[in-house]
């Protein structure tokens, strides 16, 4: 349990209480809404958004958005503060009951776990986070295990594949920096209808923000690995991470993803699940190189078999990884030979 250093300033102004919290060094570099939820336990998102809009919550006396990244010595001013009002949000443990089946699915999805983070192979059909009409999510499951656990990125509900969970604030920040600096390599596999004009290319595409008020630049590399019967197996390597980025890119290539009911207007495979898989993650922390690979879902594999699409993982991993494996094997052989000569 970490110690939160709060610097309180309370005074009355027009009979209204104001509270000021100053951000300490060990709690900087996180979103404002996450910081507030940490300080006031189950403070809900709608309450935060409402009070930010009404300027009842300010940062350095400025109106700010919930996604603002707090810095050391930032002053968060909460107007109309009252212990009675904010005590409503006192933490309630296990507010969402997780069934044994869901818990079992989660346990079986764990590919890797140590003291600092977990990598799971998320199954299709479960949301990453809660929302309207969503009660069960990966976030709800991990919060039932420990309030300290945090998601460090997201996958669409329909997307299966690799998802990272940090076990503490330190590793939440580490992974946040890896994503921000683009030092975490992601590879996705998708089964798409049609074939792009080019076998491989980089795509720079401006897509709408969540509120549709502006365009956001995205970068994606893709390569067609196999094509048959108007179905293409495509490898995507996103360099940015925006909502629905790969689904929109696939549509703009003229090869929408099979089962994508939002961006694929073709009706030939309308009953299929979304054929998009977060297939590989590769990153380095403290000189340790991590590489994880998803097990493709059965519906993904069955669709490939039905369409007689060959799956050559060498094309997905790439020549560089094969060269690394070869050099590692050669290194081990030389070590053994050297030890034998000494003996």
Residues classed as catalytic: 156
Which residues, at least 6 apart from 22, have a Cβ–Cβ distance to it below 8 Å? 6, 7, 73, 74, 75, 76
Beta strand 276-285 with 160-166: parallel, antiparallel or unpaired?
parallel
The Cα–Cα gap between 79 and 76 comes to 10
CB distance 190 to 236 below 8 Å: yes
Beta strand 110-113 with 57-59: parallel, antiparallel or unpaired?
unpaired
The Cα–Cα gap between 50 and 269 comes to 42
Give the burial class of 97: count Cβ atoms within 10 A of its Cβ; 0-12 exposed, 13-18 middle, 19 or more buried. exposed
First vs last C-alpha separation in the chain: 52
Q: What are the backbone angles phi and psi of residue 253, rounded to the nearest 5°? A: -80, -5
Question: Cβ of 137: how many Cβ atoms within 10 Å?
Answer: 19
H helices of 181-318, in order, are: 245-252, 298-306, 313-317
Vertex 153 angle, CA 32 and 77, to 5°? 0
């Amino acid at each position: 349990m970490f110690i939160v250093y709060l610097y309180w300033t309370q005074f009355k102004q027009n009979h209204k209480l104001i509270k000021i919290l100053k951000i300490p060094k060990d709690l900087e570099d996180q979103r404002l809404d996450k910081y507030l939820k940490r300080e006031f336990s189950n403070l809900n998102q709608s309450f935060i958004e409402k009070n930010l809009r009404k300027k009842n919550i300010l940062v350095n006396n400025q109106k700010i958005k919930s996604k603002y990244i707090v810095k050391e010595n930032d002053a968060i001013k909460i107007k109309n503060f009252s212990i009675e009002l904010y005590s409503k949000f006192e933490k309630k443990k296990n507010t969402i009951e997780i069934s044994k089946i869901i818990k079992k699915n989660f346990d079986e999805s764990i590919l890797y776990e140590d003291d600092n983070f977990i990598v799971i192979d998320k199954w299709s059909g479960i949301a990453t986070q809660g929302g309207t009409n969503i009660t069960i999510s990966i976030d709800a499951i991990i919060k039932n295990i420990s309030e300290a656990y945090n998601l460090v990125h997201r996958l669409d509900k329909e997307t299966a594949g690799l998802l990272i969970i940090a076990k503490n604030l330190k590793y939440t920040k580490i992974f946040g920096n890896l994503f921000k600096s683009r030092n975490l390599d992601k590879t996705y596999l998708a089964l798409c209808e049609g074939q792009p004009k080019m076998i491989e290319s980089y795509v720079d595409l401006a897509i709408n923000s969540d509120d549709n008020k502006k365009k956001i630049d995205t970068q994606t590399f893709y390569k067609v690995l196999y094509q048959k019967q108007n179905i293409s197996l495509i490898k995507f390597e996103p360099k940015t991470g925006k909502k629905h980025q790969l689904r929109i890119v696939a549509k703009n290539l003229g090869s929408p993803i099979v089962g994508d009911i939002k961006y694929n207007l073709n009706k030939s495979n309308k009953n299929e699940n979304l054929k998009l898989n977060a297939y590989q993650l590769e990153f380095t922390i403290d000189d340790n190189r991590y590489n994880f690979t998803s097990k493709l879902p059965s519906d993904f594999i069955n669709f490939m078999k039905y369409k007689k699409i060959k799956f050559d993982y060498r094309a997905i991993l790439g020549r560089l990884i094969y060269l690394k494996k070869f050099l590692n094997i050669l290194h081990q052989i030389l070590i053994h030979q050297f030890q034998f000569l000494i003996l």
